[in-house]
Structure 1
């Protein structure tokens, strides 16, 4: 069983990127499980605090430990994120900052998924961040499925289309292939 941790960079309740990850979980091929991480918003129990290197001790804050443990348990990671001000949303950047100095992302296969074709700056910024933390970007699994509506119903309708489901399955299969190839080394 391959385990994929899915992280949405959007905190919006009606996020199309979060809808994309939920659809990926539902469309996952046999032998692949996709779990969506929900602790980015910085509010409430289990949410990541703002990154502060002074607080990154042993042990780290509980929510940071949860993120790191989730990354360790995952065979691969999928990140779906919108673009804000030509960059990565702050909550996602905060989560990635918590793993810069640790080893959970080193050589971890990562795919980027976007719900908007206009996320080019965010994709470039994420690629740079992932390079710095030594993650392994899987280009064949990095896709954009345009969910241009502003409501969950719009996203659900788009994701119900056979070509969208096929694209998600193909991306997850590409991740699985990369994980398998990496394990064979």
Structure 2
């Protein structure tokens, strides 16, 4: 297995800038090794509502930009809260734009979950993502229950996870899987 730089694209199911899901992705970004880059997607909230009539030559430019980032990525990291026992609408909309495209099949994916709850959304996302032919790397699953805690407590838990090697360990495992496949 040879080493090479990796680009990971992180998709956040919450569009709040201060969401616990986004904070977890930011912590992963800061904990990644030098040869790995994590970019957190800021396009999901701006995507138009999916309409199959607007695919192909009519695909909006922002969707093409989003899909190009997905294609460029060696792997994806998904952190998504549960809204009313389901996937947030904007996040599902983003996935719908990718269903009939060729950027996503067989791309490795890691879940980073910021809650002690939310198993419904994890199950639903796993079903949708497997249907889209993504390769979910279960061994890299990260659950760090920071949701619902104060900003100070979240920050302390994220620092502790970084210092104890939890964040880097999950990323290292994910990278090994990606490198062994590619």
| Coarse TM-score class (shorter-chain normalised) | over 0.9
Task: Identify the residue that residue 37 of structure 1 maps to in structure 2.
Answer: 41
TM-score by length of 2: 0.92
- Mapped pair 1:24 → 2:23: no
- Mapped pair 1:78 → 2:77: yes
Q: CA deviation at 1:2?
A: 0.5
Moved more, 158-167 or 18-27: 158-167
- Structure with higher helix content: 2
Note closer, same or farther for the CA distance 1:91–1:82 as it changes in structure 2 (3 Å cut). same
TM-score by length of 1: 0.91
Gaps of 5+ in 2: none
Cα deviation digits, residues 50-88 of structure 1 (max 9, x gap):
111111122520110111000011000000010011111
- Mapped pair 1:9 → 2:13: yes
Note closer, same or farther for the CA distance 1:165–1:83 as it changes in structure 2 (3 Å cut). farther
Residue correspondences, number: 178
Note closer, same or farther for the CA distance 1:164–1:143 as it changes in structure 2 (3 Å cut). farther
Q: Is the partner of 2:30 in helix, strand or coil? A: helix
What is the root-mean-square deviation of aligned Cα atoms in Å?
1.5
Cα deviation digits, residues 129-158 of structure 1 (max 9, x gap):
111110000001111101034444332221
Q: Is the partner of 2:94 in helix, strand or coil? A: helix
Q: CA deviation at 1:163?
A: 5.7
